[in-house]
Amino acid sequence: MSKDQLRPILLHAHLFKNAGTTLDWSLERSFSDGFCDHRDDANMRGNPEYLAKFLRDNSGLRALSSHWLPFPLPSLRGAVLRPLVLLRHPIERILSVYEFERRQAVDHPGTQRARDGDLQSYVRWRLEERTGPVIRNYQTRMLSGIYPGKGDQLQFERAKQLLDSLPAIGIVERYTESVVLFEQELKEDFPEIDLAFRRQNVRDASDHRTPEERREAVEQDLGELLDPVRDANSLDLTLYELACERFDSDWQSLNSAEALLDQLDSRCQRLGAT
């Protein structure tokens, strides 16, 4: 079967608190009924055979998002799978996780701890091994396909291998540029793709600090917990650094990058983006 006969399917690995809701908003707008925001986590988690069958059974799907994409992805006869991943600095991400759990109306240990205490008390609890590793090398664990696992070198190598295989890597702190790269890398398979966006699920739209300024503020708020947090996210910090190096290289190699940014900005403005 020639490349032109293959069915391209875009797969968004929606990592918790990594701007995934905004990307899903764009994917639904771009693909309409051809997009699926998959929520059957119990069946999807760690089950590539389920994903393959789901894609076969839903032949009209062109894009799917899931919090639990099973890596490595399955082989699917007659199709080519195009995964999308956004990475975020693990220190800044911690505040987003904390504030998200504070806002939730449901009661479970994470939401209760977040509502009942400040950032430090919540992080101190989350650093305990008996809790879910949502702020302990979370991105490495998820992208390795071994979750929760031990947060070890094997998981790091598998996550790195996945990133190395991607046509483009997104960085949350450089979301607009990430969208430009995604569109350019995907346009051959999806000529009509339009990932213009209005930011979704934003905790404070009036916060105009740079990512570096927000991260420094979180580091100050963590105080004596900063070093333990860094230790607990050593794999994520390294993975993020490698992803940023790849991102910078891809961006510098992109022809007419500034013009493409201006075009995306115009599309976003027409959607009422701020």
- DSSP secondary structure string, 198-233? ---S-S-TT----HHHHHHHHHHHHGGGHHHHHHHT
**Rg for the chain, CA atoms, rounded:** 19
- Which residues of the chain are under the pLDDT cut of 50? none
Give the C-alpha separation, 244 to 61, whole Å: 31
Give the C-alpha separation, 98 to 114, whole Å: 6
SS3 content of the chain, % helix, strand, coil (to 5): 55, 10, 35
pLDDT at 5: 76
pLDDT at 202: 75
90: part of which helix (H) or strand (E)? helix 90-103
**Ordered strands of the 170-171 beta sheet:** 35-38, 63-66, 7-13, 79-87, 170-171
DSSP letter at 68 equals: T
Q: Which are the contacts of 72, defined by CB distance < 8 A and separation ≥ 6?
A: 48, 145, 162
Contact yes or no for 63/36 (Cβ under 8 A) = yes
pLDDT at 207: 81
Q: How far is CA 73 from CA 10, 44, 162, 234, 248, in A?
A: 12, 11, 10, 26, 26
Contact yes or no for 160/236 (Cβ under 8 A) = no
What pTM did the predictor assign?
0.95
Burial of 80 (0-12, 13-18, 19+ CB in 10 A): exposed
262: part of which helix (H) or strand (E)? helix 257-270
